[in-house]
């Protein structure tokens, strides 16, 4: 998770020693090599304009002023509305974080067929629970969907404020937004698409029912021991003396208390989280999880004691033995997974970081790339390898297309362990030299190489919404632009957030890139080799900057060759004559391939990847 004005806190998990016993994580079959699509709901699709947020729904309602309004979905992203200018400062200081575009659950439902046609079979939602911020990591409830994502915000807010709900699930009601989310699950399942949601369990928002009770009743509240309260408000003074521990020091994120010895979460919030987990995994409570979500992605999981996660994961898998749980861990998670029982993690460490170093920055050699992949992957049990979410970007990073535009070709990194994968300078917000322009043809060719590797490597590829439509952008907030849809016409991007000259860029839906993604995902789906753990490096030619590897075995064996150089290259690797079945440049019939004496010779155009059978 990354909040505005906050760099991500990275916790370092210890690496697993080679001689340690491995406890296999719980990995459902469907999670092995699933094709994931990450949706940031507020920016995906506005399917119901009647539920758009109002100024009163914002995190800090008084700051934008009375002229605040919903931002135009198809407007130039860097064009500041009048209400943003009234706040003052530059583009990144305040206004952009108070924007709302009106994305909602109906918008997702309307586009489920689009996702199915693309080849997606699993959705990961950023937080959908009620919260005031745009990112919704400041949850005010874990058992209610945000009213502005549903069809009746006014009625839902009435339930939230005056419905008499407590920590007891017997008091919980179903809002219109809750019911629409259940309908979304039903319709997704009907299309063969699994649904996973974001859980943020180490802190809440200030309007969370337990913390709101503390704000109203002070020391008399039954929830005072749920949080780290340093001092209560004295109602006889004008000053508010309520002080408490907020996650990362943010007063908007009161942190849940651990138990007495710090080995578990406090029993109060722990039980509430278990109850909320059951609500979404088995909504009708009949013991059949078919009507519930298929799993969880857990934000800042390392902030909560391991025992909580062991107990919670056991709870999840009892509710649904085919569920998946995925932790947000940016470092080596091998040992962490054995201690907590998660199915897998978002694969920054063993996938995104090596990919950026070689295919994006071109700052390590193919032999180093292969060694890094094998060393980091082999620390994980095979089922976990297949379930790791192989992502290149997310809501917490600059988009992959913008990483390529601003690629580091010097080989000089502040942090060689993560190759500066996620640094404050990865956005125009904190780096005046960062380029916000659209990628050119060469940069798109590199992106196609990355995508091919993502869909042919060991693990479950995950795409951030809009990558298939050609979207680009730096780190938050630029990575969270409204989704480019084919049925909408967007204004050209002509404004630079720092006031510099820039070319006019067309941000509209890119049919060519979409077609490439659709074909590449179909390649993944149609070849069993890409769903196996079998991976072998056949050639890592440092002189030619070519990397060749095989997937699968026997008749299912496939060979993938990547030319990261800007010149045509001839590469040889062991094997027999094979047919090219896919090429990132779209011209697989023109790729020259021959063999003799048990060796294959392949002529690769510049910045091109191919798949052979």
Pair 381, 429 in one domain: yes
Average pLDDT, stretch 237-265?
A: 95
Q: How many domains does the chain have?
A: 3
Token readout for 397 is: 């990073």
Q: Give the residue from 470, 336, 239, 384 showing the smallest Cα distance to 12.
A: 336
Q: Do 573 and 502 belong to one domain?
A: no
Same domain, 435 and 370: yes
Mean pLDDT of all residues belonging to the chain: 93
The per-residue pLDDT for 587 is: 92
- Is 71 a member of any domain? no
pLDDT value for 416: 64
- The predicted structure's pLDDT at residue 93: 87
427 and 566 in one domain? no
Indicate the pLDDT class of residue 408, thresholds 50, 70 and 90: confident
In a domain, 394, yes or no: yes
Give the pLDDT band of residue 589 (cuts 50, 70, 90).
confident
Residue that terminates a domain, selected from 217, 249, 281? 249
Residue 410: the pLDDT is 72
DSSP assignment of 228-265 equals -EEE---TTSSS---EE-BGGG-TTSBBBPB-TTSSSB
Confidence (pLDDT) at 422: 75
CATH of the domain at 595: 2.60.40.1180
* pTM of the complete model: 0.94
Q: Check: CB of residue 447 under 8 Å from CB of residue 514.
A: no
Residues 6+ apart with CB under 8 A from 507: 77, 438, 470, 471, 481, 484, 490, 491, 492, 493
Q: What percent of the chain has pLDDT over 70?
A: 95
Rounded alpha-carbon distances, angstroms, from residue 291 to 181, 183, 298, 321, 356: 11, 9, 21, 14, 39
Q: Under a CB-based contact definition with an 8 Å cutoff, are residues 196 and 124 in contact?
A: yes
Could you give the C-alpha distances from 427 to 196, 329, 397, 405, 453, in angstroms and in order? 28, 22, 9, 12, 25
CA-nearest of 389, 268, 282 to 328 is: 389
Q: Assess if residue 220 is contained within a domain.
A: yes
Query: Average pLDDT in the 75-90 region?
Result: 94
Residues 499, 388, single domain; the answer is yes
Say if 373 falls within a structural domain. Answer: yes
pLDDT band at 17 (very low <50, low <70, confident <90, very high): very low
Q: Tell whether 96 is covered by a domain.
A: no
Give per-residue pLDDT as tens, 30-44. 999 899 999 999 999
For residues 440 and 352, state if they share a domain: yes
User: Which of 517, 536, 544 lies closest to 602, judged by CA?
Assistant: 544
Tell me which residue range forms the domain holding 239: 209-249
Residue 425: predicted pLDDT: 76
Contacts (Cβ under 8 Å, ≥6 apart) of 573 = 538, 539, 548, 559, 561, 599, 600, 602
CA distances from 19 to 350, 372, 378 (A): 20, 20, 13
Q: 325-361 burial by CB neighbour count: b if 16+ within 10 A, else e?
A: bbbbbbbbbbebbbbbbbbbbbbbbbbbbbbbbbbbb
Q: Report pLDDT for 46.
A: 98
* pLDDT value of residue 35: 98
**Using 50, 70 and 90 to split pLDDT, how confident is the model at 209?**
very high
Residues 473-510: pLDDT tens digits? 999 999 999 999 999 999 999 999 988 889 999 999 99
The answer to whether position 123 is within a domain reads no
Residue 363 lies in a domain: yes
Q: How many CA atoms lie within 13 A of 539 on its CB side?
A: 23
- Span 171-191, pLDDT tens digits: 999 999 999 999 999 999 999
Taking only the tens place, the pLDDT of each residue in 529-554 is: 999 999 999 999 999 999 999 999 99
Provide the β-strand partners of residue 37.
Answer: 123, 463
Q: Is residue 355 part of a domain?
A: yes
Q: How confident is the model at residue 24 (pLDDT cuts 50, 70, 90)?
A: low
């Amino acid at each position: 998770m990354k909040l505005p004005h906050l760099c991500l806190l990275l916790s370092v998990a210890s690496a697993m020693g080679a001689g340690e016993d491995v406890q296999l994580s719980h990995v459902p079959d469907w999670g092995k090599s699933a094709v994931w699509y990450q949706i940031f709901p507020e920016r995906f699709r506005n399917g119901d304009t009647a539920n758009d947020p109002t100024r009163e729904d914002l995190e800090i309602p008084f700051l934008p002023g009375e002229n605040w309004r919903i931002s135009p979905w198809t407007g130039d992203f860097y064009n500041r509305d009048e209400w943003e200018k009234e706040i003052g400062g530059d583009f990144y200081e305040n206004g952009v974080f108070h924007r709302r575009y009106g994305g909602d659950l109906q918008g997702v439902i309307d586009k489920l067929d689009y996702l199915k046609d693309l080849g997606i079979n699993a959705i990961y939602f950023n937080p959908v629970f009620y919260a005031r911020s745009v990112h919704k990591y400041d949850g005010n409830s874990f058992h209610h969907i945000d009213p502005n994502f549903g069809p009746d915000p006014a009625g839902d807010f009435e339930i939230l404020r005056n419905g008499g709900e407590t920590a007891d699930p017997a008091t919980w009601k179903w809002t219109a937004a809750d019911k629409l989310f259940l309908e979304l699950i039903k319709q997704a399942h009907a299309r063969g698409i699994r649904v996973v949601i974001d859980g943020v369990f180490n802190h809440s928002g200030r309007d969370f029912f337990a913390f709101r009770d503390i704000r109203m009743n002070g020391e008399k509240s039954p929830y005072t021991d749920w949080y780290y309260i340093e001092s209560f408000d004295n109602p006889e003074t004008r000053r508010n003396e309520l002080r408490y521990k907020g996650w990362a020091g943010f007063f908007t994120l009161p942190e849940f208390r651990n138990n007495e010895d710090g080995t578990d979460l406090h029993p109060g919030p722990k039980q509430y989280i278990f109850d909320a987990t059951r609500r979404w995994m088995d909504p009708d409570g009949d013991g059949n999880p078919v009507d519930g979500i298929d799993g969880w992605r857990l934000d800042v999981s390392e902030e909560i004691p391991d025992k909580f996660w062991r107990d919670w994961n056991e709870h999840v898998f009892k509710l649904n033995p085919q569920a998946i749980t995925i932790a947000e861990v940016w470092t080596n998670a091998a040992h962490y997974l054995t201690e907590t029982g998660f199915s897998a993690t978002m694969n920054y460490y063993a996938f995104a970081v090596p990919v950026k170093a070689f295919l994006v920055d071109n700052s390590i050699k193919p032999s180093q790339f292969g060694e890094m992949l094998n060393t980091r992957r082999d620390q994980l049990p095979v089922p976990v390898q297949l379930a790791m979410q192989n992502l290149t970007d997310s809501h917490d990073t600059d988009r992959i297309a913008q990483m390529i535009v601003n690629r580091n070709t010097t080989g000089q990194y502040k942090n060689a362990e993560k190759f500066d994968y996620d640094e404050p300078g990865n956005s125009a917000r904190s780096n005046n030299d960062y380029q916000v322009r659209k990628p050119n043809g060469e940069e798109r060719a590199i992106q196609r190489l990355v995508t091919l590797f993502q869909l042919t490597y060991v693990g479950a590829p995950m795409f951030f919404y809009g990558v298939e439509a050609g979207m680009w952008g730096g780190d938050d907030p630029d990575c969270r632009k409204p989704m480019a849809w084919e049925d909408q016409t967007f204004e050209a991007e002509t404004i630079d957030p720092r006031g510099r000259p820039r070319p006019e860029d067309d941000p509209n839906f890119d049919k060519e890139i979409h077609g490439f993604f659709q074909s590449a995902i179909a390649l993944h789906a149609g070849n069993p080799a890409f769903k196996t753990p079998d991976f072998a490096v056949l050639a890592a030619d440092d002189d030619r900057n070519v990397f060749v590897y095989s997937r699968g075995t026997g008749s299912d064996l496939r060979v993938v060759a990547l030319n990261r150089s800007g010149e045509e290259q001839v590469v040889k690797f062991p094997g027999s004559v094979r047919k090219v079945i896919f090429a990132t440049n779209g011209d697989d019939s023109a790729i020259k391939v021959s063999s003799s004496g048990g060796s294959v010779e392949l002529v690769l155009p510049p910045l091109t990847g191919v798949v052979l059978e």
